[in-house]
Chain A
Amino acid sequence: GNSVTQMEGPVTLSEEAFLTINCTYTATGYPSLFWYVQYPGEGLQLLLKATKADDKGSNKGFEATYRKETTSFHLEKGSVQVSDSAVYFCALSASNQAGTALIFGKGTTLSVSS
């Protein structure tokens, strides 16, 4: 079956540090890959996505590249800010059909201090 594995947190960084959150997946076919972010007290928000191999999703300084050969979609940011403190979820969708749900990783909590 389809599944997502992401690094366990929490991840604690100082402001302006480099961030990597690892995510690997198992899926049949060619899934779409996503990173969602959940800020304290808020709902899930799409951060970035990639729909095919070698695609790079980017948003708000975050990037992730769809690597089919390593089945990975690691999230990176060159310089984190305190406002980036949140829980980050890696997810996959087997297709973009309306009836297809997202499968989530367990989430990684990021805490950035000034």
Chain B
Amino acid sequence: GAVVSQHPSRVICKSGTSVKIECRSLDFQATTMFWYRQFPKKSLMLMATSNEGSKATYEQGVEKDKFLINHASLTLSTLTVTSAHPEDSSFYICSARPGTGPPGANVLTFGAGSRLTVL
């Protein structure tokens, strides 16, 4: 089945530094990937939709200059948290689906997530 891989799974950084998280679709091409943020004991908040070869679409309230998204190829999207602060500490999850098909056939597949801790 479709597999989405994220790296790193955990990262600790100092306040003010930047951190890059990679999301790869391992066995399918994804023109679109989604980045979610999961807060402790809360649901997943959609941050942005990453589009291969074009700019990402950010959800309302998400700072595009802080959370830089680059979808460089059909199998790779990256999320860079710039000038990270402790309040950016969270669990970031990417997802993608293989593409269109019969209704319900192409289900969104999630990466295992990346836990960012900013000291």
Known contacts A44-B110, A105-B43; 12 additional CB pairs below 8 A are: A43-B93, A43-B112, A44-B44, A46-B108, A51-B104, A98-B31, A99-B51, A102-B34, A102-B108, A103-B46, A106-B43, A107-B41
Q: Is the C-beta of A17 less than 8 angstroms from some C-beta in chain B?
A: no
Note all chain B residues with C-beta closer than 8 A to A98.
Answer: 30-32, 97-100, 106
Residue positions of B touching A, CB distance < 8 A: 30-32, 34, 41-44, 46, 49, 51, 93, 95, 97-101, 103-113
Q: How far is the CA of A36 from the CA of B104 in the complex (A)?
A: 15
Q: Across the interface, do A99 and B32 meet the contact criterion of CB distance under 8 Å?
A: yes
Number of residues of chain A lying within 8 A (CB) of chain B: 26
Of chain B, the residue at the smallest CB distance from A51 is B104
Q: How far is the CA of A7 from the CA of B42 in the complex (A)?
A: 13
What are 20 residue pairs bridging A and B, where the CB atoms are less than 8 Å apart in the complex?
A42-B112, A43-B113, A44-B95, A45-B110, A46-B109, A50-B104, A96-B97, A96-B100, A96-B101, A96-B103, A96-B104, A98-B31, A98-B32, A101-B46, A102-B108, A103-B46, A104-B44, A107-B41, A107-B42, A109-B41
